[in-house]
A and B are shown apart, each in its own frame.
Chain A
Amino acid sequence: MRLWSFHGGIEVPGHKEISTTRPVEPAPLPKRLILPLSQHLGAPAEPLVAEGEEVLKGQMIASPAGFVSAPLHASSSGKVVAIGEHPVPHPSGLSAPCITIETDGEERWVEREQRDFRQLEPAEIRETVRQAGIVGLGGAGFPAFIKLNPGRTIKTLILNGAECEPYITSDDMLMRERPEQILRGLLIIRRAVQARRCIIAVEDNKPEAERSLRQALGSMKEDADDIEIVTIPARYPAGGEKQLIRVVTGQEVPSGGLPVQVGVVCHNVSTAVAVYRAVELGEPLISRYVTITGGAVAEPRNLEVLIGTPVEELLQLCGTDPGAVQEVIMGGPMMGISLASLGVPLVKTGNCLLAVGRGEIEHPEVMPCIRCGNCAEACPMSLLPQQMYWHARAKDFDRLREYDLFDCIECGCCAYVCPSNIPLVHYYRFAKSEIRARQEQKRKADIARERHELREQRLAREKAERAARHARKRPGPSDESKKAAIQAALERARAGKQGAAQDDV
């Protein structure tokens, strides 16, 4: 099969071997599970349970609030002990609403309905995926059912097994150990989006994963003529959605556009497994493969982890030396977020915990930009990182949008190649959040303007009505006679008072 290449990108040391030597095992059941209501893009879920309530494993404990949202399920059975703010994995280090469950160790499941996907209509598949709380497990956590409803003809369905970011091996291990489930998930997604051909893309640094996928495909009974497994050259960020589409199909997704516009839908291999488990086993998304690795980890490996397990416990399980840790990153070294506290839970999108040892990742001194242009050469989105950096520094947000700031995927290639070590991505994140905040401010100001105008109109109308009522009244006592009446009353009162005062004397 012909492959294309994308602009820019970088070659980075993989550090992947260290975490692939041990088979994946389930992590022991934690005492407490902390489940943030927002583990996806879109509106946070709304709790369906109350404190003190007993819940079963797999029971829905929060429902989606709106279309772009996802429900949440208890990862194990036990009792809800708290609903409230708890630190979550987020660059701000802030807390957010979470449901905390004290597990009872019994792992009592809700009723699970096993079904054959071939009996289901695409709409039923989507609804099942939605109810299972499945979000994109390789990226930002976009609710997966939305991408199962492309609304137009899909030529190519791509399963993303590239896993291009250093250190992370959770998809690799999943492809090695559960290729049948991945393929099963692929068939289900194929049915939901009615794709004509399917491609599973694996970077060429994962030969074991490729081999086991090929084996599973060879022994599959279903019709699989349209499924192809391709190895693509390892180059960061080949696993970026737009980059992968370019490599595999040669097509460019337009700026600000979506893959469906070029007839492509992309899902991650772990998402495919979650889809399979939801549709055929009736299990919602309550666990995932997680890589626990880094220089401070004695036994780097992958574990199957219940969503909501505290990060601290996972690090301990793999022999992490707290004294040797420089920082802990959820995700990889290029795009992950540094954790402010280790009490945060593992969330649906958490594919990796990277406990960086001291000196393992350097933060060299930042120097002035020398306008070398390396950043533009490395940018896989063909942006102009240097110009965007200047405008972000100058807070010139209008200009930044002209440079397609919002096409930036925050891959970090530009900062990686910058000889002056400028934290370029940080500047783009700053600018993006500032622009979003200003849009929100504008929206609120527009509402306030409208409410103020309505109020002014209402006041004027009321005034007019009062005036009209006044005019309609029978010509009552004139102003003069009114004044006289008031005067008379006042005098009466005064006279009375005086009289009373005299009586007192």
Chain B
Amino acid sequence: MLSAALALTFLALVFGLLLGYSSIRFRVEGDPVADQIDAILPQTQCGQCGYPGCRPYAEAIASGEADINQCPPGGEQVIQALADLLGREPKPLDPDRGAEKPPMVAFIDESDCIGCTLCIKACPVDAILGAPKQMHTVIADECTGCELCVEPCPVDVISMVPVEEDISHWKWPLPKVANGDAP
């Protein structure tokens, strides 16, 4: 009887601590600068910046630990926005982190998938559907193109394909003018 009560108390304590920890770790509000930075980052969650996701990188920038040019998916646009926000000079993307690429999504060649679930474990945004020993599929609309699922696949059937341009995503280009109509 007593041991049961003790065990329950112990459990309550463990859960309480864990909940407390996760509420700090995953707090929604909090450091407003980090929030503003996180709002600018592309949320690809690829880790190329050297941090395990966009939020930790945002916190590192806010604390002055990381520079503003470490996010390849964000590229020039994000660097510019961060520079504006923080009142700093924009600088070119750190080439050691990778290069800016056109948007891609993961594609699984389903005929060869062995259903090992390793890619599901790797996906930071739960964009892969599948169950053990079943074939797996990427929900293209939710895939951020982080490439984290490509490496773990033991049969190499995941490839990154460019996002197809269709009419609803087509953009008017900046007009090309022969003599540049420079001021």
Contact = CB atoms under 8 A, between A and B. Distances in A.
A204 to B, nearest CB: 35
Contacts of A365: 178-179
Interface in A334-367: 365-367
A464 B167 contact: no
B53 A430 contact: no
Interface in B1-39: 7, 10-11, 14-15, 18-19, 21-22, 25-26, 38
A75 to B, nearest CB: 22
A433 interface: yes
Contact of A88 (B7, B22, B26, B167): B167
A451 interface: yes
Contacts, number: 114
B44 interface: yes
A44 B46 CA distance: 33
B142 A368 contact: no
Chain A interface size range: 35 or more
A448 B44 contact: yes
A127 interface: no
Given A94-B170, A368-B183, A452-B45, A468 B126 contact: no
B171 A437 contact: yes
Interface string A428-440: 0110111001001
Interface string B172-183: 111101110111
A434 B167 contact: no
B133 to A, nearest CB: 21
A69 B108 CA distance: 33
Contact of A471 (B10, B42, B43, B183): B10
Given A422-B181, A457-B26, A445 B170 contact: no
A91 B166 CA distance: 12
A83 B144 CA distance: 30
Contact of B171 (A367, A434, A452, A464): A434
B177 A423 contact: yes
Given A96-B166, A422-B181, A472 B125 contact: no
Interface in B119-138: 124-127
A455 B126 contact: yes
A208 interface: no
Contact of A456 (B26, B165, B183): B26
B172 A464 contact: no
Contacts of B101: none
A406 interface: no
Contacts of A94: 165-167, 170
B174 A430 contact: yes
B38 to A, nearest CB: 7
Contacts of B173: 430
B54 interface: yes
Contact of A426 (B18, B26, B124, B172): B172
A420 interface: yes
A472 B25 CA distance: 25
Contacts of A420: 181
Given A366-B181, A460-B22, A468-B11, A452 B125 contact: yes
B14 A433 contact: no
Chain B interface size range: 35 or more
Contacts of A440: 169
B11 A471 contact: yes
B109 to A, nearest CB: 23
Contacts of B182: 368
B15 A468 contact: yes
Contacts of A464: 14-15, 18-19, 22
Contacts of A95: 167
Interface in B147-183: 165-167, 169-175, 177-179, 181-183
A369 B54 CA distance: 42
A335 B17 CA distance: 64
Contacts of B169: 437, 440
A191 interface: no
Given A448-B43, A449-B43, A457-B26, A467 B14 contact: yes
A427 interface: yes
Contact of A429 (B11, B38, B127, B172): B172
Nearest to A451: B125
A44 to B, nearest CB: 8
Interface in B44-86: 44-45, 53-55
Interface in A395-439: 420, 422-423, 426-427, 429-430, 432-434, 437
A448 B7 CA distance: 39
A445 B55 CA distance: 12
Interface in A98-129: none
A53 interface: no
A90 interface: yes
A474 B170 CA distance: 62
B167 to A, nearest CB: 5
B7 A472 contact: yes
A433 B165 contact: no
Interface in A299-358: none
B18 A467 contact: yes
A92 interface: yes
23 contacts: A90-B167, A92-B167, A95-B167, A96-B166, A367-B179, A367-B181, A422-B181, A429-B172, A430-B171, A430-B173, A430-B174, A430-B175, A434-B172, A448-B44, A448-B144, A449-B38, A451-B125, A451-B127, A455-B124, A455-B126, A468-B14, A471-B10, A472-B11
Interface of B: 7, 10-11, 14-15, 18-19, 21-22, 25-26, 38, 41-45, 53-55, 124-127, 142, 144, 165-167, 169-175, 177-179, 181-183
Interface of A: 38, 88, 90-92, 94-96, 365-369, 393, 420, 422-423, 426-427, 429-430, 432-434, 437, 440-441, 444-449, 451-457, 460-461, 463-464, 467-468, 471-472
Given A429-B172, A448-B44, A455-B125, 13 more contacts: A88-B167, A92-B167, A95-B167, A365-B178, A366-B179, A437-B169, A437-B171, A440-B169, A447-B142, A448-B144, A449-B38, A464-B19, A471-B14
